[in-house]
Amino acid sequence: MQENKILKTIKAALEKELHIDPIKTPVRLKIENGAIIMEGTIDRIAHKKKALLIAMSIPGTSGVIDRLKVKPAKEMGDKEIKNHICDAFLEEPTLRDITIEVDVNNGIVDLEGAVPSLSHKRLAGVFAWWVPGSVDVINSLEVSPPEDDSDDEITEAVVLALEKDTLVNHSNIKVATQNYVVTLNGIVHSEPAKNAAEDDAWYVWGVNEVINRLKVVR
């Protein structure tokens, strides 16, 4: 009975807070060994991450198992996705000389290998997310030698992602990070640009939450 109540609470929150239509975008929920399992395909990375945060906030569970995928902007085969990612790495001067293993299974990208810094790890992850056919990215890259993480590191990575994203004019966007929560302030010229900037922040490995305060000025 308690499990049913928890699942109903999550479904109601997804519909109210994220406006996720349970018919058009069904998110399958179940509880196993006290953990909430979330499955389904969500429109945006921001919605996927926020859905997980909603589930994590529900008391009485031992955790959340993430099996949510992001709806691909374009249908691609695994080989085509891998080729696009590898080409992106080769075109990026900071990544082209690093050996990164790319494995793609049903649109889910897994990155493995060793990189010299957290910045390299995060940039590789963002590039993998940007490929239109990617539905999820598992960033298993190891930083060698190990590096201490910080809010400043997160901010630098988000700023870099925004600078490299051709869909976003980064010049009027300010990025701040506190306790791995990123806040975006400033002006963009369209709603898609606002969403793209928020998604870019979510693509950065290690970000716990994104607060989007960007204003659309046409």
128 shares its domain with 157 = no
Q: Which of 121, 143, 165 is the last residue of a domain?
A: 143
CATH code at position 103: 3.30.1340
pLDDT (tens digit per residue) in 62-71: 889 999 999 9
Q: How many domains does the chain have?
A: 3
133 shares its domain with 166 = no
pLDDT higher than 60, residue 118? yes
30 shares its domain with 54 = yes
pLDDT higher than 70, residue 126? yes
Beta bridge partners of 174: 185
Q: 4 versus 117: which is more confidently predicted?
A: 117
Can you tell me the mean pLDDT for 18-37?
A: 86
Domain that holds residue 54: 2-70
**Structure tokens, 172:** 């009027």
Can you tell me the mean pLDDT for 41-51?
A: 94
pLDDT tier at 87 (50, 70, 90 boundaries)? very high
- Please report the pLDDT score of residue 218 as a whole number: 80
Q: 131 versus 23: which is more confidently predicted?
A: 131
Q: Is 171:189 a contact under the CB 8 Å cutoff?
A: no
pLDDT tier at 61 (50, 70, 90 boundaries)? confident
User: Taking the complete model, does pTM exceed 0.85, yes or no?
Assistant: yes
Specify the DSSP class assigned to residue 33. T
56 shares its domain with 85 = no
**Structure tokens, 9:** 């609470």
Mean pLDDT of the chain: 94
Q: CA-CA distance, 128 to 109, in Å (whole number)?
A: 7
- Please report the pLDDT score of residue 62 as a whole number: 81
Q: Which of 106, 127, 143 is the last residue of a domain?
A: 143
Tell me phi and psi for residue 146, to 5 degrees: -55, 150
84 shares its domain with 64 = no
Contacts (Cβ under 8 Å, ≥6 apart) of 4: none
Q: Which of 88, 122, 143 is the last residue of a domain?
A: 143
160 shares its domain with 121 = no
Percent of the chain with pLDDT over 70: 100
CATH code at position 194: 3.30.1340.30
How far does the chain reach from its first CA to its final CA, in angstroms? 50
Q: C-alpha distances in angstroms, 34 versus 56, 85, 103?
A: 12, 37, 31
pLDDT higher than 90, residue 198? yes
- Please report the pLDDT score of residue 76 as a whole number: 96
11 shares its domain with 39 = yes
pLDDT tier at 164 (50, 70, 90 boundaries)? very high
Conformational region of residue 10, where left means phi above 0, alpha means psi within -120 to 50, and beta covers everything else: alpha
To the nearest 10 degrees (0 to 180), the angle between helices 191-203 and 118-130 is 130
pLDDT higher than 70, residue 11? yes
